[in-house]
Structure 1
Amino acid sequence: MPRMIFVNLPVADLPASAAFYTALGFENNPRFTDDTAACMVWSEAISVMLLTHEKWRTFTSRPIPPPTASEVLLAISLDSRAAVDAMNAAAAAHGGNADINPMQDLGFMYNRNLADPDGHVWEAMWMDPAAMSAAAG
């Protein structure tokens, strides 16, 4: 079995959060989705488990951070600068917040940070490995 990562996130409104992640390009895996959780697939190796607060509390007794807190910043790669911009725009149009941190453009790498409706922070990023190698050499 390949190594995989499942990012578990507590969400206040499961249907709204699932719609948000769908708008960003994630696909729902109905095998692991019910009225307490939604499995949103980014790639063959990466999925995000959206969990109602009640379901989340069955995994841990630690408090759910408020939407203004940043417990992690999750970076995901995209195929182009335009895809980064499109994801950022989709976040703003579907209940999230775009550009919560300053945009970063290093030429070989470009990123924009967004937050989902519950304040979970994502970094949409594009990197040109050829340009990065040329800059390093």
Structure 2
Amino acid sequence: MHQLMFVNLPVEDLGRSRSFFTEVGYTFNDDFCDGSALCLELGPTLHAMLLDREHFASFHDSRVAEPGTVETLVCLSAASREAVDAVVDRAVAAGGTDVRRADHGMMYGRTYADLDGHVWEVMWMDRDWTDRGATRERA
């Protein structure tokens, strides 16, 4: 249905956010970065626009959530359990906070909060298990 996804998040300090997410292993599309916004590339068609709080507020008429307030939880997939750990470990090493770990066998995830308190869940799902489950349901 959709071609691209952009999630918009307010941040306190664009330079600090760029450094943090670079250390986590992400890149930025500088064609969409300026003094009030960074375009964080999460995948070929997945992006997070990190906007300074004033610029973020210009997109709506509601009060901007205070830093550290969870207003959304962004969930991203990973190729393996090890990849989940690698991303979250890098985020924590860069100054993020390790929030939680969930291991359900066929699904494994860890969650971290970035420097502005935004919550990022990184998860892996065993595709063989989900394919088997779908086959069982159709039978």
Name the TM-score, length of structure 2 as normaliser: 0.88
* Structure 1: runs of 5+ lacking an equivalent: none
Unaligned runs of 5+ in 2: none
Other-structure match for 2:115: 117
Match of 1:62 in 2: 62
Q: Is the 8 A contact 1:32 1:39 kept in 2?
A: yes
Q: Which amino acid aligns with 2:120?
A: W
SS at match of 1:117: coil
Give the match's secondary structure for 1:42.
strand
Whole-Å separation in 1 of the counterparts to 2:78 and 2:23:
15
1:63-108 per-position Cα deviation (integer Å, ceiling 9, x unaligned): 222233221111100111111111111111112111x13x111111
Separation in 1 of the partners of 2:124 and 2:50? 25
1:12 partnered with 2:25: no
The letter for the 2-side match of 1:133 is D
**Structure number with bigger Rg:** 2
Runs of 4+ aligned residues of structure 1 deviating over 6 Å after TM superposition are none
Letter in 2 for 1:119: G
State the alpha-carbon separation in 2 of the partners of residues 84 and 26 from structure 1: 14
**Distance in 2 of aligned mates of 1:44 and 1:51:** 20
Quick check: 1:115–1:121 contact (8 Å CA) kept in 2?
Answer: yes
Task: Report how far residue 7 of structure 1 moved.
Answer: 0.6
Percent identical: 40
Structure 1 Cα separation of the partners of residues 93 and 61 of structure 2: 33
Structure 2 counterpart of 1:126? 124
Cα distance in 1 between the residues matched to 2:95 and 2:44: 26
Count matched residues: 134
Match of 1:32 in 2: 32
User: Where does residue 104 of structure 2 map in the other structure?
Assistant: 106
> Aligned AA for 2:70?
S
Change (3 A) 1:135 1:105: farther
Equivalent residue letter for 1:116: D
**SS of residue paired to 1:122:** strand
